[in-house]
Amino acid sequence: MKDFASEKTEVLKLLDFDYQGFAKNLVKGKNLVETRYYVGAIKRQNGANKTKSERLYADQQKLIGKLQQQNVPVILGNLIQHPDKSFHEKGVDVRIAVEMIRFARENKYDTAYLLSSDTDLVPAVEEVRSFNKQVCYVGVSKGQSFGLTKVSDNVILLREEDIMPYFPKVLPKKPLT
């Protein structure tokens, strides 16, 4: 995907992304049972990071609202801050794994489309396949998971032109005269 000019521009574009249209295109005419979105929950913080955490929290709440408007359930994991001040999701991949396996066991789908490059999901994919279900790993070539590629039934590597049609068309700003 393109580098965005600012963090705010990226957030606004994600808010307008057509998740259901993108998902329907991925399944190529097959019956789309459900699209689910997994993410670490941003928590509000006090102190020096209060302003930034409030903005990030508000942006995530807007995203969750937009996803809900598109009938996309949002499943929240945790977001923890390491001592080096970087943030990492915790429990998100476990939630994906548990639900992939549970839904396979309950016969809710024939093929799971997994949009994650987390190799921690390899055992879940193997378990899903033991229920005679297929898994299509969807990733990008620069961050491709070769572990998921190896255990999945099918692989789709997205390019910018595969994703951009699901963002709104933005008209260039006209100069004021």
State the Cα–Cα distance between residues 42 and 81, nearest whole angstrom: 10
Q: What is the pLDDT of residues 73-125, one digit of tens each?
A: 999 998 887 788 777 888 899 999 999 999 999 999 999 999 999 999 999 99
Sheet holding 74-81, edge to edge: 37-41, 74-81, 87-90
- Which of 142, 152, 143 minimizes the C-alpha distance to 121? 152
Task: Give Cα 150 distance to the centre of its chain.
Answer: 21
Domains of the chain: 9-90 (no CATH), 93-161 (3.40.50.1010)
Low-confidence ranges of the chain (pLDDT < 70): 1-13, 48-49, 170-177
- Residue-wise over 15-48: b if at least 16 C-beta within 10 A, else e? eebebeebbeebeeeeeeeebbbbbbbbeeeeee
**pTM listed for this prediction:** 0.82
- Which of 110, 114, 131 minimizes the C-alpha distance to 122? 114
Sheet holding 154-158, edge to edge: 111-114, 134-140, 154-158
Predicted pLDDT at 6: 44
State the Cα–Cα distance between residues 94 and 99, nearest whole angstrom: 9
| CA angle (80, 84, 86) in 5-degree steps | 45
